[in-house]
Amino acid sequence: MTTMRAWVVGEPGPLAGGPLELTELPVPDPAPGEVLVRVLTCGVCRTDLHVATGDLPVHRARVVPGHEIVGEVAGAGPDSGRFAPGDRVGIPWLRSTCGRCGFCRTGRENLCPGSRYTGWDADGGYAEFTTVPEAFAYRLPDELDDATAAPLLCAGIIGYRALTRAALPPGGRLGLYGFGGSAHITAQLALAQGAEVHVLTRGEGARRLALELGAASAGDALSPPPVPLDAAILFAPAGEIVPVAMEALAPGGTLAVAGIHLSDVPGLDYRRQLFHERTLTSVESNTRADGEEFLALAARLGLRPTTHEYGFDQAAEALAYLDAGDVRGAGVLRVASR
């Protein structure tokens, strides 16, 4: 039996308790319709942190986290023919859907009640090998190198969907609450499309990065922006920011909440925070079409995440950096090289 090194979530809990464990696992066999992928890089996403610390309920005991995976096809299960050995692919958060429900049939597969997720329902990319249903893998543009492509596969795609849900008008003013892996990619996308971007976050390093990338302002998340916002996206998992962000919206503005986990939201003052046709909406995962559209756009616009590369043995350190809060860009695990 061939084995591989992998990180698993042993007992979810605070990072100080060491929920991540480095172990040896059998190299997985791809099922029908799946491909085996040799992992090259894997982005370190806040959702990985939620899985490790128990903010998200356990879906698979001792799961291998990680869902921003860049790798090479190393094998295929029966009835698989989309990719050839050696092809470079991206594995995202959305792993599979039922394909039959009303949501799937109407282009809203992100809402499928039978959806399953990489690094939560099935083992992910904090390992030397993983598998994926070939219909849910992306063929990556050549313009995106392995480290660049990794954070685009969730942070980038979710930011793209969140920007769409926020309904930012052309040339409008966009507020970004929190400025980690996803927000700093979304800022680049919005700026490339002519938006005026205002960043509101607690971290000084993150604020400096925002200004370096071209944001018009960078201030504290609980303070009002210098101008009314036509749209805003909340990336920080902090429900107390929702009323603040709603009040910062101009009439007709929309706040999109992009995270899978959010602390409790305080009550809203209707006149100050919701009236004037302001909208509050959430963002759930993404469709495969979102991913295809975004990756093509990222290659065309030359989007380049700011990345911090970690060796495979440093997965726990990478999560600790993310948990500390003042994040400049996105963490990426270097699992192997081509």
pLDDT digits (tens, 9 = 90+) for 68-96: 999 999 999 999 999 999 999 999 999 99
Same domain (yes/no): 104, 28: yes
Task: Tell me the pLDDT band of 107, cut-offs 50, 70 and 90.
Answer: very high
Same domain (yes/no): 235, 269: yes
Same domain (yes/no): 7, 136: yes
Q: Is residue 25 part of a domain?
A: yes
Same domain (yes/no): 167, 68: no
User: What per-residue confidence (pLDDT) applies to 79?
Assistant: 96
**For residues 287-297, average pLDDT:** 97
Through-space distance between the first and last CA atoms of the chain, rounded to whole angstroms = 24
Give the number of other Cβ atoms within 10 Å of residue 139's Cβ: 13
Same domain (yes/no): 162, 115: no
Contact of 32 with 78, CB cutoff 8 Å: yes
Q: Is residue 187 part of a domain?
A: yes
**For residues 117-144, average pLDDT:** 97
User: What per-residue confidence (pLDDT) applies to 72?
Assistant: 98
Whether pLDDT at 325 is above 90: no
Domain count, the chain: 2
Query: 45 lies in which domain range?
Result: 3-140+306-334
User: What per-residue confidence (pLDDT) applies to 31?
Assistant: 97
Same domain (yes/no): 55, 87: yes
d(CA 188, CA 191): 5
Q: Is residue 294 part of a domain?
A: no
Strands (E), 10-114: 20-26, 34-44, 69-76, 88-91, 94-96
Three-state DSSP at 210 gives helix
Task: Tell me the pLDDT band of 328, cut-offs 50, 70 and 90.
Answer: confident
Tokens of 248: 């910062």
pTM: 0.94
CATH number, domain of 326, equals 3.90.180.10
User: What per-residue confidence (pLDDT) applies to 18?
Assistant: 95
Q: Is residue 149 part of a domain?
A: no
Same domain (yes/no): 11, 109: yes
User: What per-residue confidence (pLDDT) applies to 324?
Assistant: 82
**For residues 193-213, average pLDDT:** 95
Largest CA distance in the chain: 65
Same domain (yes/no): 249, 329: no
Q: Is residue 292 part of a domain?
A: no
Three-state DSSP at 234 gives strand
Whether pLDDT at 1 is above 90: no
Q: Is residue 258 part of a domain?
A: yes
CATH number, domain of 244, equals 3.40.50.720
User: What per-residue confidence (pLDDT) applies to 32?
Assistant: 98
Q: Is residue 300 part of a domain?
A: no
Share of the chain above pLDDT 90, in %: 94
Residue at a domain's end among 267, 282, 297 = 282
Same domain (yes/no): 8, 128: yes
Same domain (yes/no): 177, 264: yes
Rg (CA), the chain: 19
User: What per-residue confidence (pLDDT) applies to 270?
Assistant: 96
| Residue-by-residue DSSP string for 286-301 | --HHHHHHHHHHHHHH
Same domain (yes/no): 161, 136: no
pLDDT tens, residue by residue, 164-202: 999 999 999 999 999 988 999 999 999 999 999 999 999
How would you classify the pairing of strands 196-200 and 173-177? parallel
Task: Tell me the pLDDT band of 259, cut-offs 50, 70 and 90.
Answer: confident
Same domain (yes/no): 319, 218: no
Q: Is residue 98 part of a domain?
A: yes
